[in-house]
Amino acid sequence: MTSQKLQRLALFLALLSTLNLAQTAPPPAEPQSSSESGVIRQTENDNTKPERERPRASFSFPFLSAYSYRRVPDLQLDHTTKLATLVQNGSLRLSLQDAIELAVENNLDVEIHRYGLAIADTDVLRAQGGGSTRGLDYSEAQVPSGVGGPGSPLLNAAAATVSPTNPTITNTFQLNQIEQVQTNLSLQGATPFSTGPAIPLYDPTLVGQLAWVKRTPFLTSTTSGSSVGPSSAGSSDTENNTLANVSLVQGFSTGTQFQAGVNNSSQILTSTNSSANPFFTAPNTIATISQPLLRGFGPGVNRRYIRIAKNDQKVTRLIFRQQLIDVVSGIARLYYDLVSLREDVAVKQETLNAARKLYSDDQAQVEVGTLPQLELTRAQSLVASSELDLVRSQGLVAQQETVLKSQLARRGSGDEILKSVHIEPTDVIVIPASDTLPPVDDLVGQALVARPDLAQAVLQVTNGRITLEGSKNELLPELDLFGSLQTHGTIGSSSLAPSIPSPVTTPASATARIYEAGIQLTLPLRNRIAQADAQRDTLQVRQMQARLQQLENQVRVEVQNAYSALQVARTAYSAAVNSRQYQEQVLQADRDRLSVGATSNFFIIQDASYLAQARSTEVAARSTYIEAKVALDRAIGTVLENNHIDLDDAVRGVK
């Protein structure tokens, strides 16, 4: 086979192999988290079904999928069917589990982190193509604190007075009820690491050129005058030709760069006997390869962004889990606070009813002259004070409902269903007879294993070390091994004897081969930029390690404090129950004494005030205990398991 035929065959095989590579290569894997996540929520509307369930546009050539846009569906803000099923007779009958499931499905902080899972998948895809990662969102939001439970202390200030006092309403709606605290879980801070040595592009790139070329005849000047005319060596007619070039560029994780291509530029543009058929003679071919031996050498350096991106996938899942823990524990706190506030309203209503009855009884005695007018005035003061307490408690319930509603639907309290209903909790706070808790050191050990915020911080430090590998590699000189093979096809004329002019000439072609191999060294003489970057990146990794230790210390403190708080809450609840029971006995004894004239109505009013405070204190102590239990679960990291929340279901946004 002639050299010309070999070169034509090489061009054909290069084009064919490129097309086959594009057609047989598997399509980019769909992001794992996005295929699982709730960024695409299933509803009755077919337009909101997961994208993989909708028919895709078919292409005649599969390789065109590399140039298609991966559609991201619009954000869905309508409420789900579950919310509507819980509405009965104008009330949203809500158990704690219902509230948690609605929040997991609809809370926008959770939904934002579902998108974060898909974003991390795009970074993996980008790194696999040879790009750098674009970074993550490390923030997570706490559920608003709400109004809080009826926070009466065990020793109410009013109980120290001889007569009941009217409470003063101050600061009834604080901003912290609706504001969310954002927590940044990033250990790195605002300063990025250095970029390190460049990464090869792993996606092969095909560059092709096809052009029409028109060339006029060569003209020569005579030595005896200024006249010009057609050259005897050139063509006397204008030539139309086709220029065709193609090249393929590919990088590899070892740092290797490869390029191969064919072209016929020299024949078309410079040859004295070009042909209308661009492949009539052998096209030029070139294949080059380069391999770094120091800077940029090896998969460890060149795959660092892929390793970081895959770790970031784990980080985003852990941050999602942490966000879920904060939402579930926050919803439990809001729900139990609402239950306690409604219980407090019932206590205040009962107290008001008792005060009104006392006022009615005293009024009857005043009318018959058996009780002085002053005692009626005291009873009337108790009624007014009780009414004010009730109004205040009812207002707190309404405010707490609004805060809880904001977490149950994507439009918050503006949802059409939630606008017109009141929340009616169906669960009550039950205090167990005793707490069976393991030793606090065991709980700390469990938290160090289970806490997702701590686990993702460890991965951040790992990514910092991977980045530092690239920074240290940047310190090395550039020493590259390279080689190339080139062939050049030429067109000329031949005669019987090169030294004897002949009127008869015939076209001839030849192919030249050029082989090249060598080493190229680039040696920075000071290298201060790379030294500074490597040292700074090392210092930043040390900072991250220190922050990681801080976080571990914080976890220990949180568990220990939550453990102590639960023990104190248990003791406080027992004291509150005893206080209420004793106050009931005192009130009943004074009533018995009053019936025989052994005491005055003043002490009955005072006893009734103390009993009302004791009942509210018991409600508050019950609320404090259950919140301390939720806080301990959060500190340990067992909130999801204790509330029957499956992480994979939460990622998909379904129960």
Average pLDDT over residues 468-472: 96
In this predicted structure, which of 77-86, 213-222, 281-290, 623-632 has the lowest mean pLDDT? 213-222
Reply yes or no on whether the pLDDT at 492 is more than 60: no
Q: What is the CATH number of domain 32-196+307-459+563-652?
A: 1.20.1600.10
Q: Which backbone phi and psi does 333 adopt, to 5 degrees?
A: -65, -45
pLDDT digits (tens, 9 = 90+) for 101-111: 999 999 999 99
Reply yes or no on whether the pLDDT at 183 is more than 70: yes
Who has greater pLDDT, 2 or 341? 341
pLDDT digits (tens, 9 = 90+) for 528-561: 999 999 999 999 999 999 999 999 999 999 999 9
Confidence of residue 7 (pLDDT cuts 50, 70, 90): low
pLDDT digits (tens, 9 = 90+) for 392-446: 999 999 999 999 999 999 888 888 888 889 999 999 999 998 888 899 999 999 9
pLDDT score of 54: 42
SS3 486: strand
Who has greater pLDDT, 268 or 580? 580
Where are the chain's structural domains? 32-196+307-459+563-652
Amino acid at 258: F
Q: What is the end-to-end Cα distance of the chain in Å, rounded?
A: 69
Reply yes or no on whether the pLDDT at 154 is more than 70: no
Quote the percentage of the chain above a pLDDT of 90.
50
What pairing do the DSSP bridges indicate for beta strands 239-251 and 257-263? antiparallel
Average pLDDT over residues 72-78: 86
Average pLDDT over residues 29-33: 43
Who has greater pLDDT, 150 or 140? 140
Chain mean pLDDT for the chain: 81
pLDDT score of 576: 92
CA distances from 151 to 331, 337, 502, 621 (A): 18, 10, 116, 8
Sequence-ordered alpha helix ranges (H) in 369-451 = 373-405, 416-419, 440-450
In sequence order, what are the residues at sequence separation of 6 or more whose Cβ sits closer than 8 angstroms to the Cβ of residue 384? Answer: 166
pLDDT score of 243: 79
Reply yes or no on whether the pLDDT at 46 is more than 50: no
pLDDT digits (tens, 9 = 90+) for 231-246: 444 445 666 777 788 9
pLDDT score of 370: 82
Confidence of residue 23 (pLDDT cuts 50, 70, 90): very low
Unique residue bearing structure tokens 């009053």:
594
The enclosing H or E element of 507 equals: strand 506-522
Q: Which backbone phi and psi does 417 adopt, to 5 degrees?
A: -70, -45
Q: What is the DSSP letter of 483?
A: E
Average pLDDT over residues 10-30: 45
Reply yes or no on whether the pLDDT at 170 is more than 50: no
The enclosing H or E element of 355 equals: helix 304-368
Amino acid at 107: N
Closest by alpha carbon to 150, among 380, 566, 568, 429? Answer: 429
Reply yes or no on whether the pLDDT at 20 is more than 60: no
CB 479 within 8 A of CB 293: yes
CB 340 within 8 A of CB 147: no
pLDDT score of 270: 60
Quote the percentage of the chain above a pLDDT of 70.
76
In sequence order, what are the residues at sequence separation of 6 or more whose Cβ sits closer than 8 angstroms to the Cβ of residue 335? Answer: 94, 96, 99, 404, 425, 427
Average pLDDT over residues 384-394: 91
Q: pTM to 2 decimals? A: 0.80
Give the Cα separation of 521 and 110 in Å (integer): 52
pLDDT digits (tens, 9 = 90+) for 250-297: 999 999 999 999 887 666 666 655 555 554 556 788 999 999 999 999
pLDDT score of 237: 62
pLDDT score of 223: 54
Top mean pLDDT of 186-195, 370-379, 544-553, 642-651 is at 544-553
The enclosing H or E element of 220 equals: strand 219-221
Reply yes or no on whether the pLDDT at 638 is more than 90: yes
Sequence-ordered alpha helix ranges (H) in 25-95 = 32-36, 81-85
Average pLDDT over residues 333-352: 92
pLDDT score of 126: 95
CB 393 within 8 A of CB 348: yes
pLDDT score of 423: 93
In this predicted structure, which of 47-56, 406-415, 482-491, 519-528 has the lowest mean pLDDT? 47-56
Who has greater pLDDT, 228 or 144? 144
pLDDT score of 50: 42
Amino acid at 505: T
Q: What is the DSSP letter of 617?
A: H
Top mean pLDDT of 28-37, 131-140, 151-160, 216-225 is at 131-140
pLDDT score of 266: 62
Closest by alpha carbon to 294, among 193, 195, 197, 202? Answer: 197
Closest by alpha carbon to 443, among 216, 264, 629, 273? Answer: 629
Confidence of residue 602 (pLDDT cuts 50, 70, 90): confident
Reply yes or no on whether the pLDDT at 59 is more than 50: no
Average pLDDT over residues 91-96: 93
Average pLDDT over residues 86-90: 88
